[in-house]
Chains A and B, each alone.
Chain A
Amino acid sequence: MNISRRGMLFGTSSVGALACLFGVTNVNAKMIIGSSANDRQTITKMIKTLYPHERFPDGPYQRTTDDVIGKGNADPAKTLMMRDGIADLRKASFDSLNFREATNYLKEIEGSAFFSHVRGTSVVTLYNDKEVWDLLGYEGASYEKGGYVNRGFNDLNWLPEPRITEHPDHANFFTATQNKLAELKQTNTNK
């Protein structure tokens, strides 16, 4: 299953979905939109505005930018969508806006296909970045290391140790509902 299918499933590209529907593919498209240094910078700024993390270095944002550009040129229809989206950012002088202004501008274009593409791709790619996982303290795969059973699965120490068995009344709880049902039936019969 390829990556563009993932994009379709997660609603990152209605334009792409349409292109697929009509069987338009152009893997070797010569026109690649967004890859100039200037465009990359603009797209990176958009991603940083969407998902701001002060402690993230440039690397994850750059890799996310690569993915936004790559998937944004997966077929000709997407390439045109990218072209128009970036042109709109230029018209709004997006590069010179401060964070609050940039956020407000993105709110205005939230319904656009270009916005959906950049946001939908970014949320998947940025938080699937291994460097981001490290920064967030997520250790991921552990089977090869023997799991977390000896590596902190229960190391939380700011709360008391809770009970893990069922409450002694639990079995009665189930029976109680049966009695309640019997009661209810009786009431219905009496009516």
Chain B
Amino acid sequence: MNKIDKNESAVVIIGSGAGGGTMAYELTKAGIPCVCLEAGSYIKPEDYTSDEWGAFMQMAWLDARGTSGSWRVNKDFPGLPAWLVKAVGGTTTHWAGATPRFMDYEFKTRTTYGNVDGANLLDWPVSLNEMEPYYDKAEKAIGSTHRHGRPPLPANNNYKVFANGAENVGYKFYATGPYGTNATPYDGRPGSIQDGFNFQGDKNSSKWSTAVREIPRALKTGLLDLRPNSHVIQITHDKDGKANSVLYVDENGDIQRQKAKVVCVAGNSIESPRLLLLSSSSMFPDGLANSSGQVGRNYMRHMTGSMYARFDKPVNMYRGETMAGFIADEVVNDPARGFVGGYYMETLALGPAFLGAFLDPGAWRADFSKMMDGYSNLAGMWLVGEDMPQSTNRVTLSDSIKDQYGMAAPNVHFDDHPNDVAMREYAYEKAEALYKSVGAVQTVRTPPYPSTHNLGTNRMSEKPEDGVVDKWGRAHDMKNLFISDGSVMTSGAAANPTLTITALAIRQGEYLANELKKGNL
């Protein structure tokens, strides 16, 4: 592995997930040495555990966090706003594998939806047209099924119920993908053995993650200095307002300084704005890159909910790929439904351990036990749709909670927008109808739980006063500071975000490599 001196002003990437891991590969591939600081350890496929609680305790980001607001997560899981991973590869270790693209209108929400009360809608400074070549590259990197000649995954039991229900209620756009897990060997990794565990990391490496693709390849270039167990606590700047170093806590608990000529922040939508806020200075009293006041605002987590249905015949939903089932028919903007934006329906399965915790938090008594008792006869789906960016949904520094280093913990405040509530209600009804059409005897509406899709807290904007970064993810206020994760999303779309985060990072990597080569940084 490459060793970069701490006194050398380096390109420093913070985080190694879909955004940071992809940046590390794109830049080293282009011949640019990088330091990648990752807060978690390097957990490899042989270390993954096929046990829900075991894996959660092994890799989930469990640093102290606060929650507030009227969202149900604040009641059911206070202190755990999000279900993210602290490890090399970040949350690509945990992601299920769904890779739909954003729709064109989803890049233009202000234009398409008009003025929605309480929503801070803004068009992206990027269009689908500009993103298409990068979506192609990201799909090829990930190996998305149903794309670029990649074959579809076969139907598992949960999908059979889901797809038959879809057909019964008149949906057309259902399939087992696009999905970021190999159906057949591809890119040096094997086809799926349908082992039923991918939220826990895929021991078979059929699922794409930056821990199995981008990071090892970046290391192979000999240009990456990967430092796991390195938790960044501040970005410093010089008197001209340019970032000049990154302070992090190493595995021994000591503070280290890495000098930097460029900083790419990819810590996910809670940690990235937190880091900018923790980096406030006399020159930037409100935090770095925050002249707009938008850092930490417009936090989005998708309209989510799940539907579990009990049948009088066996399903065994836990066998096979967890989320290899999609219905896209509801991904349209049709305000006649009572809300703007759309949503996907996607298969979802949990084991008894997590189903107990998430099915209906706080519930007990016979109805709950009946569902659990019928575990082998359950089918499940996730409902994931666009939620409204709201200025008051916000990541701030907690006044009272500190992390293990004594730094102010992030607080995540969230209130559902009426549009989110209307969409969720509508989606639950559609999901119930779907399952009833194939004979469901009991259905349960599972409320949103700690989110894996966290978006929007450093949003992209054409004008500096509307957002934090420009169309390249470069801070409006600081020319050598880039944001390389899902926090740049101006709106959240219905689609699962990993493909778009990866595509944006490939595009940003290309841009940054050119800027560096031209000497513009």
Contacts and interface: CB of A to CB of B under 8 A. Distances in A.
Contacts of B320: 148, 153-154
B187 interface: no
B175 A165 contact: yes
Interface string B136-167: 00000000001000001111110111011011
A164 B175 CA distance: 5
A156 B160 contact: yes
Contact of B112 (A147, A170, A184): A184
Interface string A114-141: 0000010001101110001100111111
Interface string B366-383: 101100110110000000
B376 A181 contact: no
A152 B319 CA distance: 7
Contacts of B516: none
A13 to B, nearest CB: 12
Interface stretch (A2-10, A37-45, A75-83): A2-10
Interface stretch (B20-28, B211-219, B348-356, B499-507): B348-356
Given A5-B62, A148-B194, A51 B364 contact: yes
Contacts of A103: 365
Contact of A138 (B108, B197, B364, B376): B376
A164 B50 contact: no
Contacts of A132: 352
B195 A124 contact: no
Contacts of B375: 136-138
B369 A9 contact: no
A126 B356 contact: yes
A90 to B, nearest CB: 21
A8 B79 contact: yes
A138 B378 CA distance: 11
A160 B163 CA distance: 10
Contacts of A177: 103-105, 332-333
A148 B160 contact: no
Given A51-B369, A136-B373, A170-B173, A143 B108 contact: no
B78 interface: yes
B175 A136 contact: no
B316 A137 contact: yes
Interface in A1-57: 1, 5-6, 8-11, 50-53, 55
Interface in A63-86: none
B313 A158 contact: yes
Contacts of B157: 152-156
Interface in A81-108: 103, 106
Contact of B175 (A8, A141, A167, A188): A167
Contacts of B173: 166-167, 169-170, 173
A147 B156 contact: no
A2 to B, nearest CB: 9
A137 B377 CA distance: 9
Contacts of B156: 153-154
A164 B176 contact: yes
A147 to B, nearest CB: 3
Nearest to A176: B332
A184 B123 CA distance: 15
Contacts of B98: none
Contacts of B164: 159-160, 162
Contact of B319 (A6, A151, A165, A178): A151
B408 to A, nearest CB: 16
B353 A147 contact: no
B134 interface: no
Interface string B70-95: 00000111111000000000000000
Nearest to B65: A9
B315 interface: yes
Interface in B182-218: 192-197, 203-204
A2 B104 CA distance: 46
Contacts of A156: 157, 160-161, 313-316
Contact of A136 (B52, B105, B368, B372): B372
Contact of A162 (B51, B167, B362): B167
B319 A159 contact: no
Nearest to B321: A153
A142 interface: yes
Contacts of B104: 174, 177-178, 181
A162 B163 contact: yes
24 contacts: A11-B76, A11-B78, A11-B361, A53-B369, A103-B365, A128-B52, A138-B352, A140-B51, A141-B51, A141-B195, A143-B204, A149-B193, A149-B195, A151-B319, A154-B154, A154-B157, A156-B315, A160-B164, A162-B159, A164-B152, A167-B172, A177-B333, A178-B104, A180-B333
9 shortest A-B CB distances, which residue pairs? Answer: A147-B193, A127-B356, A162-B163, A141-B50, A137-B376, A147-B195, A153-B320, A148-B319, A136-B375
Given A55-B373, A123-B364, 20 more contacts: A6-B53, A9-B79, A52-B366, A106-B364, A119-B362, A138-B351, A139-B319, A142-B197, A143-B50, A151-B319, A154-B155, A156-B161, A160-B164, A163-B174, A164-B153, A164-B155, A165-B152, A166-B173, A169-B172, A181-B104
